[in-house]
Amino acid sequence: EIVLTQSPGTLSLSPGERATLSCRASQSVSSSYLAWYQQKPGQAPRLLIYGASNRATGIPDRFSGSGSGTDFTLTISRLEPEDFAVYYCQQYGSAVRTFGPGTKVDIK
């Protein structure tokens, strides 16, 4: 099983600031099969990024993903009020999918 770790656990920032979230895998994620999701309280998660760097339909271009192998990054270039949420990475390089523990982005 591929274990994902995310850092930091919590990121306190102000609207307009840049957010950089990290996701590290215990072994290489084949073909960059890494996705990112956003979850707000009381809601199901929403797909943001797939294939490490491809934005899902309807996702604003302030969201970007990068990385390969074992190290991946989600960047939010300028935080909007609606971006304060929890973000999860997920690998699908193996049949047993796994999620990271999440990074909470809250308002400073």
**Which residue's CB is nearer to another protein, number 13 or number 47?**
47
**In this complex, which beta carbon is closest to another protein, that of residue 2 or of residue 76?**
2
Beta-carbon contacts of residue 2 (< 8 Å; ≥ 6 apart): 25, 26, 27, 29, 91, 93, 94, 96, 98
Taking the complex as a whole, how short is the minimal distance between the CB of residue 29 and another protein, in angstroms? 11
Helix, strand, coil in percent for the chain, rounding step 5: 5, 50, 45
Question: Which two tokens mark 20?
Answer: 């950089």
Residue 85 near residue 40 (C-beta atoms within 8 A):
yes
Which is closer to another protein, CB of 18 or CB of 27?
27
**What is the closest distance, in whole angstroms, from the C-beta atom of residue 95 to another protein in the complex?**
5
Footprint on this chain of another protein (rule: CB under 8 A):
1, 33, 35, 37, 39, 44-45, 47, 50-51, 56, 86, 88, 90, 92, 95-102
